[in-house]
């Protein structure tokens, strides 16, 4: 089913920054597809919010680290919407705070599979659909990194930070590769944001612990990052590609 409304895919859209981006995108007139891995109830709640805003919604279970599931994700978007205009590579995982010498191999593999390889797999699928080289109408890819890619997250998540560093280098290279094909590729770097991810790292109150180190003196809200993402997706950012936008409160 085709529609005149633009279509945005947000990976990891069931919670946190992804869910906030889905809701704001719907308010701005996008039809919204989200992927999720485990929490179907949360994903369906976000989809219901999108529909309540008068837009179409699609929630699809898909592990971004699995190329077959990524291909199926995009096939379902083709079937429902017949187009994709914006990809937000938001899905990410973190593990318990740890020093480097204590990080297990399976953890390293999973962190890089989801945070670095997954976005590349999604970008491949989106690029083939968006690129004017393949008859597409252009589009936007936005990768969600982390200020940890700059800071390194010592004693906490060096593996996570390193995976986000890989995502940032991919942003730079892919942006240059497809710039003449109607595709803009940018990256948002959230800082300390109030989301459930900190609980996954073993410290639900982490933002409150570190907020005094943030120049603005507070943590950020998911909606504040969503606004940055959707600005980069918009025509207002028409000459912006290969760019990194920090949403960190100055840290």
Active-site amino acid positions: 160
Q: Which of 5, 64, 71, 67 is nearest to 35 (CA)?
A: 64
In sequence order, the 6+-apart residues with CB closer than 8 A to the CB of 169 are none
Q: Which of 238, 240, 197 is nearest to 220 (CA)?
A: 197
Three-state DSSP class for residue 190 = strand
Q: Give the CA radius of gyration of the chain.
A: 17
Element (H, E) at 143: strand 139-144
The tokens describing 91, both together, are 């899905």
């Amino acid at each position: 089913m085709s529609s005149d409304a633009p279509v945005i895919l947000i990976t990891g859209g069931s919670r946190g920054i992804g869910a906030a981006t889905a809701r704001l995108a719907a308010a701005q007139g996008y039809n919204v597809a989200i992927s999720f891995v485990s929490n179907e109830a949360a994903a369906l709640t976000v989809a219901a919010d999108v529909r309540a805003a008068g837009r179409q919604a699609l929630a699809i279970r898909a592990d971004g680290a699995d190329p077959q599931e990524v291909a199926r994700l995009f096939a379902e978007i083709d079937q429902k919407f017949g187009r994709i205009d914006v990809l937000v590579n938001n899905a990410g995982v973190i593990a318990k705070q740890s020093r480097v010498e204590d990080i297990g191999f399976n953890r390293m593999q999973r962190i890089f599979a989801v945070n670095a390889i997954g976005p590349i797999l999604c970008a491949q699928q989106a690029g083939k659909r968006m690129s004017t080289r393949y008859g597409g109408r252009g589009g936007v890819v936005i990768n969600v990194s982390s200020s940890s890619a700059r800071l390194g997250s010592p004693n906490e998540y060096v593996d996570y930070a390193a995976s986000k560093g890989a995502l940032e280098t991919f942003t730079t290279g892919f942006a240059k590769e497809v710039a003449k094909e109607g595709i803009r590729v940018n990256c948002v770097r959230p800082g300390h944001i109030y989301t459930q991810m900190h609980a996954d790292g073993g410290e639900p109150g982490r933002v409150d612990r570190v907020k005094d180190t943030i120049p603005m003196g507070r943590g950020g809200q998911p909606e504040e990052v969503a606004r940055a993402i959707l600005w980069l997706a918009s025509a207002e950012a028409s000459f912006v590609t290969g760019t990194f936008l920090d949403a960190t409160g100055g840290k």
